[in-house]
Chains A and B, each alone.
Chain A
Amino acid sequence: MNAVEYAKPQSIDDAIRCLTNAPVGARVLAGGTDLLVQLRAGVVRPPLIVDLKGIAELRRIESTADGFRIGAAVAGAELSEHAEFSSQWPGITEAFNLIGSTQIQGRATLGGNLCNGSPAADSVPALIAAGVRCIVVGPSGSREMAVEDVVTAPGKTVLTTGEFISQFLIPARAAHSGDAYLRFIPRTEMDIAVASAGVCLTLNAAGVCTAARVSLGAVAPRALLVAACADALIGSTLDDAAMAKLAAAASAACAPINDKRGTIEFRTKVAGVLARRAVTIAAQRARGN
């Protein structure tokens, strides 16, 4: 019989120690909404599960001078109930809240959604678009990196043995900026993105786009930050020509697969449509800010 060991360290250092000394195949558990499903399906059989929810710093949402510092094990429901955060970053909040159901929202975490490594993770394009960075802790100290640099391929990250994400650093929203996230699913909920787009942009008084970040999900082995999409928007008033250029750039960046959830053609086209629609929402928000 292969038993699964379970540890619930109470500090970051304890957790690092625990993971560093762990047998090969040990897994980190935050919300568990992916890991426990994989465990039950027999996809993974880790000898040890290290639960991070006992670490207070990982469960906190802090408002700082630079924006927000959000613990990697904060649940979706906790984030959406944080009025200040959700009003500043509605795109991130909506993206995170699209994951699963009300019950899942009570458990699912930003750290888990990112480190599970799914190209279709809903919160990830929204975090990338917002320019979010994260703090990685481990046996050789802590380091900071951009969210888009964490995942390398489906299920794979740059994290090494003993490392995990402790917090996300979300910048203060710039003036006249707005973010938005849209995904396509064949149903209205309880589904996984077939294609998705996260957008964050800034407009000046004349309505000209001065900064933009566009990220696409589920159309490549990992979420993409597409510079050509940003280039299509920056300097424009988001007129029809710019929007068409944006959609074309988004579609051009796609490198999707055919699978049970969608075809290459479909994902490629819809990624452009979603990018355009997300820009429209983000621009509305920017004008109101």
Chain B
Amino acid sequence: MGNEQDALNLVNEQVEYKWVGTRPIRPDGADKVTGRATFGADIDLPGMLTGVVIRSPHAHARIISIDTSAAAALPGVLGIVTGADLPELPNEIAAGGEAPINFRSVSENAIARRKALYDGHAVAAVAATSVEIAHEAAALIKVNYEVLPHVINVLDAMAEDAPVLHDDLITKGLEPAPTKASNIAGKVEFAMGDIEKGFAESDVIIERSYTTEAVHQGYIEPHAVVASVAADGMVNIWCSSQGQFMVREFCAKLLGMDIGRIRVTPAEIGGGFGGKTTVYLEPLAVVLAQKSGRPVRMVMTRGEVMRATGPTSGTHVHVKLGAKRDGTFVAGEMVLKYQAGAYPGSPAFLGGMTGFSCYELPNAKAVCWDVVSNRPKCAAYRAPGAPMASFGVESAIDELAQTLGMDPLELRLKNAAKEGTATIYGPKFLKIGYLETLLAAKAHPHWSAPLGPNQGRGIASGFWFNVGGPSSASVHVNEDGSVSVVTGNPDIGGSRASMAIMAAEVLGMDLSKVKPLIGDTGQIAYSFLTGGSRVTFATGMAVCDAAKDVVRQLRTRAAKMWKVTPEDVEWRDGSAFCTKVEEGKERAPLTLAAIAHGAARTGGPISGNVSINAAGAGPGFGTHICDVEVDPETGATRVIRYTAIQDVGRAIHPSYVEGQLQGGAVQGIGWALNEEYVYDANGRLQNTGFLDYRMPVASDLPMIDTVLVEVPNPGHPYGVRGVGEVPIVPPLAAVANAVSHAVGLRLTSLPISPPKLLAAIDGAKAAG
């Protein structure tokens, strides 16, 4: 099962597939376009209460007391939860989620204990028989705060005299360890070669600082959960998340329960982008359900989503890049300072691991700082940490090309990582397709198209590891020969379509007879969450293995029906063919339906159940080309042409792969041009809705063109590489480089919003 030989046999660039690479209608499409799909907020149970969260209006405050008596006395109020209702957890790093996790932080982020650490931090929640009563009760809960000085920005938070959020936070990774608490949670370094020597040998050195702002994942569906507790104490949770097993594990940890006492059913999910890889409302809803004895539904408003979930870090990135006069990279250094939000855990280290990984760079160093401040605790966002580091590095490369008088694409081609290139984090690359994306960019008509006045073109590349990990799949043959494919991963990017396609391909059967389903935590074995661009790769591999097992069983059943050995049966095009020639015995092929129909007489139902820990995820690389036009009198930037090129290994369903590239590019464009968190002097978030948190709307964008480069991943039966995260890495620098060329100024601070760009243009004019 799933051995490497099997995988290698299937990966062949010449193979013609029946279903892989086609574009059928997605299995969940009809329900979604007709409004029938059931999202977290759509779950409705008899007797259900509404839960509402009370949130801190202060950026930093000690909670002196919480008086819930008036709220509790209000008729219709059946449950109240405060931090005192959740167990205190040890301050330790545990395995879980996408990266090591301190569950104490997750718990305190879900509901504050001694201190509220950001505007919007949950301090209590109430459940009542109507939404109106719940809100009335929320207003009756009296929280007595002692307001403390706050700090919002990363450099301010690192200052010696900054207000300290956690009096027990001692910087990790410093020798000797500091004795005083600070906001600097940790320092991590990656290095290879000798950068001192490298810079000494460099003919040209580009050195600059870059900044980016915190940005939200911007999923359309706010967090929503329904929790219910059975008479025997068993907990049922329905919610939209990126992993039902993650929700089960996190709730068990936060509530001090056994995993076996919790069942989580995944709802449809209206976008996650990494932001739904943790819990916020779920543990509160469970406690309210336990206290009230009634099911409880909690749904965030957009304002709550903006104030208290996500985002990813705002950053300060310093890059130094040294090269020979012919453009050969010699040395690179990055110092990354990332906002973690109120609790440690920014993806600074991932920025350090990815920033230089597109290139052959013999001497490199990355110093990564994780810094807390009075902002919501950051959550994963599509290639967490990589876009900000890449913005710095890819901007520096663009400037290096200008300095050397070289074409920026040729400069990248000259230094591109390839099979055997060493990475700053250790391993050498196996078969990768970065070079191919650059060659595709060079050949694309976009790269050589003429530009008009006030227009500029930028190019940038990006890298993401992609991961594998534990996944499970069950492939059931139904009595009529149709097939159910059950997996344990919420579908955030069209993965059900890919699972069905891969199963149909292995089984050689009609795709329309394959039904992909997502099981709850009681229906399918453990699967790691939907994240790290892993599902089509890892869960897809489990599906392929389970389907192959079904094929093996079908051959055995056919052999029984024909009274031959399984070796005498060949499986192709969805039917069994007998290869044993015997005088006087005509054995017509047996279809899957015929075998399924007779399954009771040949050994019972036919199903394949596979659980694997998938290794061999192929790294992904992308190169984006962006054209902009700048209005020099208003500083408005319009993206007028955009092409996203990526090595996708093999596109199982090309439309959804293209959609991933387009979506990532658009989120990156928003990050580059307009999205940012705006705080007032009191540390209160000012733009808590989509009106003033400006993600791009459709009319802001040109069609995002895509080019799928297919360099199959040898580690997957069909050559799949993860595709979802790479496309958000290049756009920040692609846009900034394009704007820099359009206005003749180097823009180093995102977002390049109209006021900022106009000030830069006018400032340069004034300076002559």
Shortest Cβ distance from A247 into B: residue:
B633
Q: Are B759 and A266 closer than 8 Å at their CB atoms? A: yes
Q: Are A273 and B634 closer than 8 Å at their CB atoms? A: yes
Q: Which of B303, B633, B687 contacts A260 (CB 8 A)?
A: B687
Q: Does B686 contact A (CB under 8 A)?
A: yes
Interface residues of B in 754-768 (CB under 8 A from A): 754-755, 758-759, 762
Q: Which residues of A contact B133 (CB under 8 A)?
A: 1
Q: Are A262 and B634 closer than 8 Å at their CB atoms? A: no
**With A184-B636, A266-B758, A269-B762 as contacts: A260 and B700 at CB distance below 8 Å:** no
Q: Are B700 and A187 closer than 8 Å at their CB atoms? A: yes
With A and B bound together, what is the CA distance between A259 and B678 in angstroms?
Answer: 9
Which of these binds chain A: B43-51, B689-697, B713-721?
B689-697
Q: Are B762 and A186 closer than 8 Å at their CB atoms? A: no
Shortest Cβ distance from B693 into A: residue:
A260
Q: Does B136 contact A (CB under 8 A)?
A: yes
With A and B bound together, what is the CA distance between A85 and B326 in angstroms?
Answer: 66
With A and B bound together, what is the CA distance between A42 and B131 in angstroms?
Answer: 13
Q: Which of B634, B697, B758 contacts A190 (CB 8 A)?
A: B697
With A and B bound together, what is the CA distance between A260 and B755 in angstroms?
Answer: 11
A193-205, CB under 8 A of B: which get 1 and which 0?
0100000000000
Q: Does B753 contact A (CB under 8 A)?
A: yes
Q: Are A186 and B759 closer than 8 Å at their CB atoms? A: no
Shortest Cβ distance from A258 into B: residue:
B755
Q: Does A84 contact B (CB under 8 A)?
A: no
Q: Which residues of B contact A184 (CB under 8 A)?
A: 634, 636, 754
With A and B bound together, what is the CA distance between A259 and B700 in angstroms?
Answer: 23
**With A260-B686, A266-B759, A270-B634 as contacts: A188 and B678 at CB distance below 8 Å:** no
Q: Which of A190, A191, A261, A273 contacts B633 (CB 8 A)?
A: A273
Q: Which of B132, B635, B692 contacts A1 (CB 8 A)?
A: B132
Q: Does A64 contact B (CB under 8 A)?
A: no
Interface residues of A in 100-152 (CB under 8 A from B): none
Q: Are A191 and B755 closer than 8 Å at their CB atoms? A: no
With A and B bound together, what is the CA distance between A184 and B678 in angstroms?
Answer: 19
A136 to chain B, nearest CB (A): 30
Q: Does B699 contact A (CB under 8 A)?
A: yes
**With A184-B636, A186-B694 as contacts: A266 and B700 at CB distance below 8 Å:** no
Q: Are B699 and A260 closer than 8 Å at their CB atoms? A: no
Q: Does B530 contact A (CB under 8 A)?
A: no
With A and B bound together, what is the CA distance between A259 and B687 in angstroms?
Answer: 10
Q: Which residues of B contact A186 (CB under 8 A)?
A: 636, 673-674, 694, 753-754
B277 to chain A, nearest CB (A): 29
Q: Are A188 and B697 closer than 8 Å at their CB atoms? A: yes
Shortest Cβ distance from A3 into B: residue:
B132
Q: Are B755 and A189 closer than 8 Å at their CB atoms? A: no
Q: Are A266 and B755 closer than 8 Å at their CB atoms? A: yes
B672 to chain A, nearest CB (A): 13
Q: Does A16 contact B (CB under 8 A)?
A: no
**With A1-B136, A187-B674, A269-B762 as contacts: A263 and B691 at CB distance below 8 Å:** no
A1-14, CB under 8 A of B: which get 1 and which 0?
10000000000000
Q: Which residues of A contact B699 (CB under 8 A)?
A: 187-189
With A and B bound together, what is the CA distance between A190 and B700 in angstroms?
Answer: 10
B698 to chain A, nearest CB (A): 9
Number of A-B contacts (CB under 8 A): 57
Q: Which residues of B contact A194 (CB under 8 A)?
A: 754
Shortest Cβ distance from B670 into A: residue:
A187
Shortest Cβ distance from A195 into B: residue:
B634
Q: Which residues of B contact A261 (CB under 8 A)?
A: 692
With A and B bound together, what is the CA distance between A192 and B136 in angstroms?
Answer: 32
With A and B bound together, what is the CA distance between A189 and B698 in angstroms?
Answer: 9
Interface residues of B in 269-312 (CB under 8 A from A): 303
With A and B bound together, what is the CA distance between A186 and B751 in angstroms?
Answer: 12
Q: Which residues of B contact A34 (CB under 8 A)?
A: none
Q: Does A62 contact B (CB under 8 A)?
A: no
With A and B bound together, what is the CA distance between A192 and B692 in angstroms?
Answer: 9
What's the interface size class on B, roughly?
20 to 34
Q: Are A260 and B692 closer than 8 Å at their CB atoms? A: yes
A30 to chain B, nearest CB (A): 20
**With A1-B136, A186-B636, A273-B634 as contacts: A265 and B755 at CB distance below 8 Å:** yes
B307 to chain A, nearest CB (A): 13
With A and B bound together, what is the CA distance between A188 and B635 in angstroms?
Answer: 14
With A and B bound together, what is the CA distance between A261 and B692 in angstroms?
Answer: 7
B133-146, CB under 8 A of A: which get 1 and which 0?
10110000000000
Q: Which residues of A contact B753 (CB under 8 A)?
A: 186
Interface residues of A in 215-272 (CB under 8 A from B): 259-263, 265-266, 269-270
Q: Which residues of B contact A192 (CB under 8 A)?
A: 691
With A and B bound together, what is the CA distance between A266 and B633 in angstroms?
Answer: 10
B136 to chain A, nearest CB (A): 7
With A and B bound together, what is the CA distance between A222 and B753 in angstroms?
Answer: 25
Q: Are B694 and A187 closer than 8 Å at their CB atoms? A: yes
Interface residues of B in 203-259 (CB under 8 A from A): none
Q: Which of A1, A260, A266 contacts B754 (CB 8 A)?
A: A266
A142 to chain B, nearest CB (A): 36
Shortest Cβ distance from A272 into B: residue:
B633
Interface residues of A in 165-210 (CB under 8 A from B): 184, 186-192, 194
Residue picked from A42, A187, A259, A273, most chain B C-beta under 10 Å: A187
A-B contact pairs, 27 of them (CB 8 A): A1-B133, A184-B634, A184-B636, A186-B673, A186-B674, A186-B694, A186-B754, A187-B694, A187-B697, A189-B697, A190-B691, A190-B697, A191-B691, A192-B691, A194-B754, A259-B686, A260-B686, A260-B687, A261-B692, A262-B754, A262-B755, A266-B635, A266-B755, A266-B759, A269-B762, A270-B634, A270-B758
* A260-B687, A265-B755 given; 14 more Cβ-contact pairs under 8 Å: A1-B132, A186-B694, A186-B753, A187-B694, A187-B699, A187-B700, A192-B691, A194-B754, A260-B686, A260-B692, A261-B692, A262-B754, A262-B755, A269-B633
